[in-house]
């Protein structure tokens, strides 16, 4: 079996669902169930013996040691993290705890477990660390896209904490020989995305008749990858990646934020037109920028294509259409994740931003 951490979050739950749709190899899913973790994402696996869910912290060494000894996974895919830049600006502590200390404790437990393995299990064991393009910092308009050899220049508490975790993973390979793989991926979008991030927030606010808060001038650029393509890249790296290597994963799809918002408005105008005939664009509101806002991210994903034959299978057009469709069809899911804690966050992040 494999151990997946953070498998109740956005990407982790998509990964677990896809994994079990494609293979019968069981998944042990360790997730703390923070505000971002949602067992409802995995409801279709209820009663499925191939999925074992454990609520717990990657930083709980005793728990992780016990789980490793009991289940003897052949690989670990580490998604567990605090993942939202704006939250890291308002409160960095949890990011340091989970992304740095949590990864460190997980690595220590895994090192001890791997050290006790023998034969084929030891040979084949892998620790795959899921990371982000944000560790490379911000690009100017004409700069080439991020390659695996780029300097780390993280600018937010989130990206700094992920950078620290990447360095620890690297060090555990170089120092102890732990067979690690690291993926650095661009912005994901798709089903089960918590509506604090740009794309789901805009869809959800548009449908609720609320303002669509665009930070600054809306010309910040991100590369966007459909989440199922990220999951297929991780499966590919796990199966065939060279130990100790880093693979950048991206969608070859750079877009300014305002173009994303306009695209979403146009799709909603088509798929769920407003009764008065007005466009959702009328709800766009430019608001105060994010402090330290990275201007541009872009991923050069040619290494993973060249070495492992992986390419995204969705274009942005096909992926974003599926995503809007999913949110239109899952409004009960949206309503349930908009709990009291979610409303508090919206108040914290948006109340002070001047339109
Ligand atoms: P998410 O915030 O939706 O989910 C994170 C999950 O981790 C949640 O289920 C949460 O309960 C769990 N978790 C948090 N702290 C934990 C802890 N201490 N122990 C165990 N579980 C814990 O995040 P996501 O968007 O699914 O991102 C998953 C991973 O992918 C993260 O490592 C993130 O840095 C990375 N990543 C995300 C993106 C993106 O666009 N979302 C892009 C590149 C890389
Ligand atoms: P986000 O989805 O938070 O991802 P990240 O900051 O990790 O790239 O934000 C994507 C982009 O959208 C980023 O440039 C910030 C911007 N943004 C807004 O303009 N308004 C919003 O309400 C949010 C959440 C993000």
At residue 94, the 3 state secondary structure works out as helix
Is the beta carbon of 201 within 6 A of some atom in ligand 2?
Answer: yes
Q: Is residue 261 part of a domain?
A: no
* CATH number, domain with residue 164: 3.40.50.720
Q: Is residue 144 part of a domain?
A: yes
280 included as an active-site residue: no
Give tens-digit pLDDT for 282-334.
999 999 999 999 999 999 999 999 999 999 999 999 999 999 999 999 999 99
For a substitution probing ligand 2, which of 222, 230, 283, 355 has the most ligand atoms within 8 Å of its CB?
A: 222
Is the beta carbon of 226 within 6 A of some atom in ligand 1?
Answer: no
Whole-Å CA distances, 350 to 195, 310, 334, 347, 353: 14, 39, 19, 6, 5
Q: Is residue 209 part of a domain?
A: no
What pLDDT is recorded for position 145? Answer: 98
Higher pLDDT, 354 or 309: 309
Q: Is residue 101 part of a domain?
A: yes
What pLDDT is recorded for position 154? Answer: 98
Q: Is residue 159 part of a domain?
A: yes
Strand segments, DSSP code E, in 261-341 are 284-287
> Which entry of 57, 134, 223, 294 is annotated as an active-site residue?
134
Is residue 228 pLDDT above 80, yes or no? yes
Token digits of residue 231: 């999951």
Ligand 2 atom, smallest distance to 134 CA? 7
Rounded to an integer, the average pLDDT of 127-133 is 99
* Structural domain of 60: 2-191+225-254+296-314
For a substitution probing ligand 1, which of 4, 5, 8, 10 has the most ligand atoms within 8 Å of its CB?
A: 10
CA of 186 to the centre of ligand 1 (A): 14
Ligand 1 atom, smallest distance to 57 CA? 19
What pLDDT is recorded for position 173? Answer: 98
Is residue 355 pLDDT above 80, yes or no? no
Q: Let me know: does 15 contact 77? Beta carbons within 8 Å.
A: yes
Is residue 153 pLDDT above 80, yes or no? yes
Give tens-digit pLDDT for 58-100.
999 999 999 999 999 999 999 999 999 999 999 999 999 999 9
Q: Is residue 205 part of a domain?
A: no
Percent of the chain with pLDDT over 90: 99
* 202 burial level (CB within 10 Å; 0-12, 13-18, 19+): buried
CA of 79 to the centre of ligand 1 (A): 5
What pLDDT is recorded for position 107? Answer: 99
Give tens-digit pLDDT for 154-167.
999 999 999 999 99
CA of 197 to the centre of ligand 2 (A): 6
> Which entry of 158, 189, 247, 350 is annotated as an active-site residue?
158
CA of 350 to the centre of ligand 1 (A): 22
342 included as an active-site residue: no
Ligand 1 atom, smallest distance to 158 CA? 34
Q: DSSP of 176-189, one letter per residue?
A: H---EEEEEE-EEE
What pLDDT is recorded for position 354? Answer: 82
* 326 burial level (CB within 10 Å; 0-12, 13-18, 19+): middle
Is the beta carbon of 200 within 6 A of some atom in ligand 2?
Answer: no
Q: Let me know: does 287 contact 355? Beta carbons within 8 Å.
A: yes
The chain-wide mean pLDDT, for the chain, equals 98
Rounded to an integer, the average pLDDT of 205-209 is 98
Is residue 341 pLDDT above 80, yes or no? yes
Ligand 2 atom, smallest distance to 293 CA? 14
For a substitution probing ligand 1, which of 81, 128, 234 has the most ligand atoms within 8 Å of its CB?
A: 81
CA of 81 to the centre of ligand 1 (A): 4
What pLDDT is recorded for position 340? Answer: 85
Give tens-digit pLDDT for 258-288.
999 999 999 999 999 999 999 999 999 999 9
Is residue 229 pLDDT above 90, yes or no? yes
Give the strands of the sheet with 51-55, arranged side by side.
51-55, 27-31, 2-5, 75-78, 126-132, 180-185, 246-249
Q: Is residue 286 part of a domain?
A: no
Q: For the chain, what is the domain count?
A: 1
Token digits of residue 142: 């004409």
Percent of the chain with pLDDT over 70: 100
Buried b (16+ CB within 10 A) or exposed e, 249-277: bbbbbbbebbebbbbbbebbbeeeeeeee
Maximum Cα interatomic distance, the chain, rounded to a whole number of Å: 68
Is the beta carbon of 129 within 6 A of some atom in ligand 1?
Answer: no
């994303």: which residue's tokens? 260
Rounded to an integer, the average pLDDT of 9-13 is 98
Return d(Cα 112, Cα 108) in angstroms, integer: 6
Rounded to an integer, the average pLDDT of 246-257 is 98
What pLDDT is recorded for position 36? Answer: 97
Q: Is residue 343 part of a domain?
A: no
Ligand 2 atom, smallest distance to 260 CA? 12
Is residue 214 pLDDT above 80, yes or no? yes
35 included as an active-site residue: no
Rounded to an integer, the average pLDDT of 8-23 is 98
Is the beta carbon of 220 within 6 A of some atom in ligand 2?
Answer: yes
């Amino acid at each position: 079996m494999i151990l997946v951490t953070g498998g109740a979050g956005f990407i982790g739950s998509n990964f677990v669902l896809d994994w079990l749709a494609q293979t019968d190899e069981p998944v042990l899913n360790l997730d703390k169930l923070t505000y971002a973790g949602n067992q409802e994402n995995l409801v279709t696996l209820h009663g499925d013996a191939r999925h074992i869910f454990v609520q717990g912290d990657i930083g709980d060494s005793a728990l992780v040691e016990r789980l490793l000894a009991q289940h003897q996974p052949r690989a670990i895919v580490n998604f567990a993290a605090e993942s939202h830049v704006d939250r890291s600006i308002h409160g960095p502590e949890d990011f340091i705890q989970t992304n740095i200390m949590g990864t460190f404790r997980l690595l220590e437990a895994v090192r001890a477990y791997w050290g006790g393995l023998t034969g084929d299990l030891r040979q084949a064991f892998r620790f795959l660390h899921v990371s982000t393009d944000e560790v490379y910092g911000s690009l100017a308009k004409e700069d080439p896209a991020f390659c695996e050899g780029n300097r780390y220049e993280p600018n937010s508490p989130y990206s700094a904490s992920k950078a620290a975790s990447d360095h620890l993973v690297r060090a555990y390979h170089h120092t102890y020989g732990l067979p690690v793989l690291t993926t650095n991926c661009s912005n994901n979008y798709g089903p089960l995305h918590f509506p604090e991030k740009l794309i789901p927030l805009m869809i959800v606010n548009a449908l609720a008749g609320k303002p669509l808060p665009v930070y600054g001038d809306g010309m910040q650029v991100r590369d966007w990858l459909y989440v199922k393509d990220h999951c297929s890249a991780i499966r590919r790296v796990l199966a065939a990646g060279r130990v100790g290597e880093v693979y950048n994963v991206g969608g070859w799809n750079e877009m300014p934020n305002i173009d994303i918002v306009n695209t979403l408005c146009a799709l909603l105008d088509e798929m769920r037109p407003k009764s008065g005939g007005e466009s959702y664009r009328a709800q766009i509101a430019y608001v105060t920028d994010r402090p330290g806002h990275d201007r541009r991210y872009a991923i050069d994903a040619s290494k993973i294509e060249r070495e492992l034959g992986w390419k995204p299978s969705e274009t942005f057009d096909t992926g974003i259409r599926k995503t809007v469709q999913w949110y239109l069809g899952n409004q009960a899911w949206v309503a349930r994740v908009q709990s009291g804690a979610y409303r508090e966050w919206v108040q914290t992040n948006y109340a002070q931003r001047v339109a």
